[in-house]
Chains A and B, each alone.
Chain A
Amino acid sequence: MSRISERFAELQALHRPGLIPFITAGDPLPEATVAIMHALVEAGADLIELGVPFSDPMADGPVIQHANERALAKGVGLGQILDWVREFRRCDTQTPVVLMGYLNPVEIRGVERFAAEAVEAGVDGVLLVDCPVEEIATAQPLRAAGLDQIFLAAPTTDEMRLQQVCAAAQGFLYYVSFAGITGAAHLSTDAVRERVTALRQRARTPLAVGFGVKDAATAATIAEFADAVVIGSALVDTLAGGVDAADAVQRAKAFLAPIRAALDALTAGHAA
């Protein structure tokens, strides 16, 4: 069982909603990334999504676009990101790490080479935004090396493709809460609830919901029907103001702790 599946099994046993923060690797400061990852775990993260910066992030909104540009301007690349995961693993062998990004950096490094390096560094899953289930052969070396390939499902995904996506999904299925780019504003939790409830019938993996989750209240509402909540842009935006590593770490904790508390209150409510 992969570290991701184990983690979701634990969450389920504890009736604890999963919390998945997303950060762009190397932003706001390359030297702060590992410290931010530890801080997020301390503040209640169950799994960490580490964004791999790309020059052309076509599915991302302005907040993550700018984070990508800042990281690239500082020379952040895949090799360095794998080093950070390796460093993170020295003190944390429990929290799963998923790399999220676009195909080209992985392709240019070589999919097989990257797969071997990622496993060795302690990466657990990979989400390639521009690699839909139709192009699964491209990512075969990742699966062969033992990495979970995380897939997205969207409001526009039809019944037939949903079956393919669910059949291919490993680790968890990431439901994109609305048709749009990351960090957009118009999240209707009722519509998401309806879709995710329907998805449950199909999915063999746990369900995480992301895109547009900005605060504790929205996260708590989503956690009523999803196994985990992903928060990206709002966190990246908060971190962007960090003046040094210590400040960025502080901001990460201060951002995530109240969201964890809101999710825990939900569990307490159910228990009572």
Chain B
Amino acid sequence: MTTDFHNLPDAQGRFGAYGGVYVAETLMAPLAELTAAYERLRVDPSFIAEFDYDLKYYVGRPSPIYHAERLSRRVGGAQILLKREDLNHTGAHKINNTIGQALVAKHMGKRRIIAETGAGQHGVASATVCARLGIPCVVYMGAVDVERQAINVYRMKLLGAEVRPVQSGSKTLKDALNEALRDWVTNVDDTFYMIGTVAGPHPYPQMVRDFNAVVGREARAQMLEQYGRLPHALVACVGGGSNAIGLFHAFLNDAEVRIYGAEAAGDGIETGRHAASLAAGRPGVLHGNRTYVICDDNGQIIETHSVSAGLDYPGVGPEHAYLKDSGRAHYLGITDDEALAAFHELARSEGILAALESSHAVAQGIKLARDLPKDQLVLVNLSGRGDKDVHTIARREGLSLV
């Protein structure tokens, strides 16, 4: 019997053994309220029409599939195709989700939005939609990230959001998530929590996936239209995993399409300095769901490392945990150095500055294509653009821009 991957999660928000609702009692009611609202809206034709309209006229969808011909020639294997999410308004796939959640918040009559952010991309995407709705937006961001992502902090402020640096724990994304949950517990009546990835308690992993699934739906139709066939393989980077599940979802039931997630191996998985939850973590419970986490033998979450702040997270969406265990998708580690090399390769061969997150996918795509015949197609999700990363790259390479 073949699995229908489109039937997940179940009513309890489970993807096999993963997912669920592991939160403090006070949050159970607002989560139930959100689940009920989302269940109603996701099948409401007028809601879907509103979402599609915004994606087309505000975000600029559909994003094209671009044949990276020169890169493919240099690699010398399969043809590398790029799904250009970097061309969206605000420069990444993150806006697909915040457009959707903003509409849900509006329909629920919420008057205040909170969000967490690591690299700042989801914070910017949240601040963007809040500006458009005229709703106050508070973004929690680890104090360490505030420091290393100064430009995105300023972008959020320009868009009218309040950025609150988080001083607890490791002062990074996971702590920003904790603080956003604490805010939500305290302001459950009027506040909508806009989670930026396919993690968190149900219904977030499902809802965020659904809003990003437009990526894969478009890509599948574009592949058939432009190439008359589906790709041999899909590749996307995985931190929390929203761009990856967005691309993968429409293809999950196409058994002949191979699926690869590129996790951040940082300095190398063997060094312990990485963020590869699926490749090197173990099943546990974090931020409201059961999934693979990076923790020590006492169950304490360990600080992760990646050159890319957007992949620097010790958990991962529960649907990816399920796809890993079921063997439907494969998750491999890409080191900082490999990602940077891919960043430069794409810049020089195609004139595209990819985000450091997406550069992990490009690196994985190159590895994969190298060993495949020239007539095969490998579709890589170019989830975001790299403008935000030029300072990080310059610093790493010993240059100063100012």
* Chain A interfacial positions (CB closer than 8 Å to B): 54-62, 65-66, 69, 72, 77-79, 102-109, 129-132, 134-135, 151-158, 161, 165, 176, 179-181, 184
CB neighbours of B20 from chain A (8 A): 134-135
With the chains together, A71 CA to B23 CA distance in Å? Answer: 23
B24 touches A152 (CB 8 A): yes
Partner of B299, one of A62, A106, A130, A161: A106
With the chains together, A146 CA to B211 CA distance in Å? Answer: 45
- From B181-189, B221-229, B319-327, B364-372, give the one contacting chain A: B181-189
With the chains together, A62 CA to B295 CA distance in Å? Answer: 22
Query: Can you list 5 pairs linking A and B with CB atoms under 8 Å apart?
Result: A78-B298, A105-B298, A109-B298, A134-B20, A157-B29
> What residue in chain B is nearest A103 (Cβ atoms)?
B285
Within 8 A of A (CB), among B278-298: 282-288, 293, 295, 297-298
* Chain B interfacial positions (CB closer than 8 Å to A): 12, 20-30, 32, 168-169, 174-175, 177-178, 181-182, 185-186, 188-189, 282-288, 293, 295, 297-301
In the complex, what's the smallest C-beta–C-beta distance from A249 to chain B, in angstroms?
26
CB neighbours of B284 from chain A (8 A): 103-104, 107-108
4 residue pairs, one from A and one from B, having the closest CB atoms: A105-B299, A108-B299, A156-B29, A77-B298
Using A107-B285, A108-B284, A108-B295 as known contacts, say yes or no to A69 and B25 having CB atoms under 8 A apart. no
CB neighbours of B182 from chain A (8 A): 58-61, 181
Instruction: Beyond the given A154-B29, A179-B26, A181-B186, please list 10 additional residue pairs across the A-B interface where CB-CB is below 8 A.
Output: A55-B295, A58-B24, A69-B169, A79-B298, A107-B284, A107-B299, A135-B20, A135-B22, A161-B29, A184-B186
Partner of A132, one of B21, B168, B174: B21
With the chains together, A153 CA to B24 CA distance in Å? Answer: 10
B178 touches A104 (CB 8 A): no
- How many contacting A-B pairs (Cβ < 8 A)? 128
B21 touches A135 (CB 8 A): yes
Using A56-B286, A132-B28 as known contacts, say yes or no to A156 and B178 having CB atoms under 8 A apart. no
CB neighbours of B25 from chain A (8 A): 132, 151-154, 156-157, 165, 176
In the complex, what's the smallest C-beta–C-beta distance from A217 to chain B, in angstroms?
24
In the complex, what's the smallest C-beta–C-beta distance from B386 to chain A, in angstroms?
30
B21 touches A55 (CB 8 A): no
In the complex, what's the smallest C-beta–C-beta distance from B232 to chain A, in angstroms?
38
B169 touches A54 (CB 8 A): no
B22 touches A131 (CB 8 A): yes
Partner of A56, one of B29, B186, B283, B287: B287
With the chains together, A118 CA to B29 CA distance in Å? Answer: 31
With the chains together, A165 CA to B284 CA distance in Å? Answer: 24
B297 touches A108 (CB 8 A): yes
With the chains together, A272 CA to B362 CA distance in Å? Answer: 80
Partner of B21, one of A77, A134, A155: A134
B181 touches A58 (CB 8 A): yes
A103 touches B22 (CB 8 A): yes
CB neighbours of B282 from chain A (8 A): 108
In the complex, what's the smallest C-beta–C-beta distance from B233 to chain A, in angstroms?
34
B28 touches A157 (CB 8 A): yes
In the complex, what's the smallest C-beta–C-beta distance from A128 to chain B, in angstroms?
9
In the complex, what's the smallest C-beta–C-beta distance from A103 to chain B, in angstroms?
4
With the chains together, A107 CA to B22 CA distance in Å? Answer: 13
In the complex, what's the smallest C-beta–C-beta distance from A104 to chain B, in angstroms?
4
In the complex, what's the smallest C-beta–C-beta distance from B80 to chain A, in angstroms?
38
